DNA sequence: TTGTTCAGTGAACGTGTGTTCACTCAATAG
DNA sequence: CTATTGAGTGAACACACGTTCACTGAACAA
């Protein structure tokens, strides 16, 4: 229906609004400690809703956590599409990618903080979900390196190890950007140099090792 | 004093025994979640002591956490002395060092798990203490690289960045050894290759960059 | 032998916890 | 217009929480 009064709100809209408020409240509360240390009642109070209402949206705090993992990585993957798109040139791969990542971390600080924390300290299922997402991204980076780089110069094993090295490093960098946002410029500057060191190693890799891959 | 009955226990000994039991209980309980999520009463119950007795040893769980950080890194630094000692040769630096680290992680799993978790998810002062210790180790590695390697070939800034890269990587590797102890052999194997990649990058570094350091 | 020290006790407090249940009452469907 | 649905309510439960306080009794110093 929805006739006059522009402020009418459908039932589904209202529910989604509360759901978002719960997600945001949990994100904010967990920021001062972590998911396992906050309570359903704290979240409900912060949202301005009675504790029982929580169950209309999530069966437990752990499931809430999985939802947060989901939306964090949904956003992160969109950002990665930008990275692949803006870095077709191998030359300025680093200079093209790092700022995009840094921007995304800055614009989604609370989500990255959540991921960084819960990856090691969250409930087992949450940790698992996060590590799985990171593994998927590593795999994607591997195929991307294999495709755009010299695929037959390195063994697929070594490409996987390189991708893992890069992803691990970027995770560490993201942790630092989250932990100390004021030093973003310096952190980025150092990370750029370090990523270069790493890629120099990759480029000079096979030339120093007896070849056994290449097919 | 202390005549017959070999089982006599001095007052100080008894206190130290309880203190250790509290530390171990906290370590064990936190392993299933994290420090901020456990309670003083859980720890006391696990030790088999009344909650109030806790205060005879630690003013709060946070101070308990700082004590655990302390003893973790005391042990870790002893291990690092072994590493420096067993790796005088630049050639087998990696093969000499990694097994020592892996052994130490295996023999002190709960401490490493604690450090890995609380580094990102612990109370602020605990996080701070851990990051400070890691920074100290990075600084030590820097001076060690500068001393044993070609000190005037690379700028001290770049040496610092390389040390940071190595320490960050080893931290990540330790996290993995803790998370999945059954895959130790594979994790170590991959880490060895990845560390080689990294060092190849370091060795070929300045030759690819316009020299501005070197004095 | 006598007096002190202090690790550990046990009761008590106000408050926070997850989860249950029967309920209200506005948005929807028929 | 009427019936149904379901997001949010509020009371109640049994229990866990940190912290206080006065206490006990064995190890100790004198």
Contact check, Cβ <8 Å, B34/A121: yes
* C-alpha–C-alpha distance, residues B202 and B155, integer Å: 12
pLDDT in tens, chain B (215 residues): 333 334 567 889 999 999 999 999 999 999 999 999 999 999 999 999 999 999 999 999 999 999 999 999 999 999 999 998 887 666 678 999 999 999 999 999 999 999 999 999 999 999 999 999 999 999 999 999 998 766 778 899 999 999 999 999 999 999 999 999 999 999 999 999 999 999 998 888 875 555 444 33
Q: What is residue A150's predicted lDDT score, i.e. its pLDDT?
A: 62
Q: What is the DSSP letter of B14?
A: H
Q: At what angle do helices A61-86 and A40-47 cross, to 10 degrees?
A: 70
CA B83 from chain centre, in angstroms, equals: 13
Question: Can you say whether the dihedral through the CA atoms of B83, B115, A186, A134 is positive or negative?
Answer: positive
**Residue B29 and residue B42 in contact, taking contact as beta carbons nearer than 8 Å:** yes
Q: How far is the CA of A132 from the C1' of D16 (A)?
A: 35
CB pairs under 8 A between A and B: 101
Contact check, Cβ <8 Å, B165/A36: no
Task: Identify which of B45, B41, B19, B42 has the alpha carbon closest to the alpha carbon of residue B32.
Answer: B42
Greatest distance between any 2 Cα atoms in chain A: 77
pLDDT digits (tens, 9 = 90+) for A96-121: 999 999 999 999 999 999 999 999 99
Question: Whose CB is within 7 A of strand D?
Answer: A 11, 14-15, 18, 49-53, 56-57; B 1-2, 8-12, 14, 39-42, 45, 51-52, 55, 60-61
Q: What is residue B4's predicted lDDT score, i.e. its pLDDT?
A: 36
pLDDT digits (tens, 9 = 90+) for B50-104: 999 999 999 999 999 999 999 999 999 999 999 988 876 666 789 999 999 999 9
Q: Which residue of chain A has the CA closest to B176?
A: A120
CATH class name, domain A62-208: mainly alpha
The boundaries of every CATH 1.10.10.60 domain in chain B are 9-59
Q: Average pLDDT of chain A?
A: 90
Contact check, Cβ <8 Å, A120/B120: yes
CA angle (A24 as vertex; A21, A25 as ends), nearest 5? 80
Task: Identify which of A146, A162, A160, A148 has the alpha carbon closest to the alpha carbon of residue A89.
Answer: A148
Q: What is residue A202's predicted lDDT score, i.e. its pLDDT?
A: 86
Nearest residue, CB atoms, B202 vs list A197, A202, A208: A197
Instruction: Report A:109-128 residues touching B (Cβ under 8 A).
Output: 116-121, 123
Q: Which residue of chain B has the CA closest to A207?
A: B200
Which chain A residues touch B119 with a CB distance below 8 Å? 120
Preferred mutation among A197, A198, A202, A207 to probe B, highest tally of B CBs within 10 A: A197
**Residue A152 and residue A214 in contact, taking contact as beta carbons nearer than 8 Å:** yes
Which chain B residues touch A33 with a CB distance below 8 Å? 36-37, 121, 123
Task: Identify which of A134, A132, A120, A125 has the alpha carbon closest to the alpha carbon of residue A34.
Answer: A120
Which chain A residues touch B158 with a CB distance below 8 Å? 193, 197
* C-alpha–C-alpha distance, residues A177 and B130, integer Å: 17
Q: What are phi and psi of B141, to 5 degrees?
A: -65, -40
Domain B61-206 architecture: Orthogonal Bundle (1.10)
**Residue A140 and residue A84 in contact, taking contact as beta carbons nearer than 8 Å:** no
To the nearest whole Å, the CA of B190 is away from the closest chain A CA by: 7
The boundaries of every CATH 1.10.357.10 domain in chain A are 62-208
Contact check, Cβ <8 Å, A120/B175: yes
Q: Residue B46 in 3-state DSSP?
A: helix
To the nearest whole Å, the CA of B49 is away from the closest chain A CA by: 24
The boundaries of every CATH 1.10.10.60 domain in chain A are 8-59
Q: Which fold, A8-59?
A: Arc Repressor Mutant, subunit A (1.10.10)
To the nearest whole Å, the CA of A179 is away from the closest chain B CA by: 9
Distances in Å between the Cα of A185 and the Cα atoms of A54, B117, B137 are: 40, 27, 24
Residues shown for chain B: 215
Is 90 exceeded by the pLDDT of residue A130?
yes
Contact check, Cβ <8 Å, B190/A117: no
Which chain A residues touch B205 with a CB distance below 8 Å? 197, 200
Question: Is the pLDDT higher at A128 or at B208?
Answer: A128
Helices then strands, each counted (H, E), chain A: 9, 0
* C-alpha–C-alpha distance, residues B44 and B48, integer Å: 6
Q: In CATH, which superfamily holds the domain spanning B9-59?
A: Homeodomain-like (1.10.10.60)
Which chain B residues touch A119 with a CB distance below 8 Å? 120
B1 by Cβ neighbours in 10 Å (0-12 / 13-18 / 19+) ranks as exposed
Cα atoms in the 13 Å half-sphere on the side-chain side of B84: 15
């Amino acid at each position: 229906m929805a006739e006059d009064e522009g402020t009418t709100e459908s039932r589904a809209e209202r529910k989604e609004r509360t759901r978002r408020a719960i997600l945001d409240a949990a994100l904010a509360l967990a920021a001062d400690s972590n998911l396992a240390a906050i309570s359903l009642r704290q979240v409900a109070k912060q949202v301005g809703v009675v504790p029982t209402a929580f169950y209309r949206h999530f069966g437990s705090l752990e499931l809430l956590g999985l939802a947060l993992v989901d939306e964090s990585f949904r956003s992160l993957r969109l950002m990665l599409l930008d990275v692949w798109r803006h870095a077709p040139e191998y030359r300025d791969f680093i200079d093209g990618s790092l700022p995009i990542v840094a921007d995304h971390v800055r614009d989604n600080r609370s989500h990255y903080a959540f991921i960084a924390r819960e990856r090691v300290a969250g409930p087992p299922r949450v940790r698992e979900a996060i590590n799985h997402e990171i593994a998927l991204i590593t795999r994607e980076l591997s195929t991307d390196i294999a495709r755009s780089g010299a695929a037959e110069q390195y063994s697929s094993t070594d490409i996987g190890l390189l991708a893992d090295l890069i992803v691990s490093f970027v995770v560490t960098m993201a942790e630092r950007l989250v932990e100390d946002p004021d030093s973003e410029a310096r952190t980025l500057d150092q990370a750029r140099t370090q990523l270069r060191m790493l890629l120099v190693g990759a480029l000079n890799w096979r030339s120093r090792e007896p070849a056994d891959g290449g097919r």
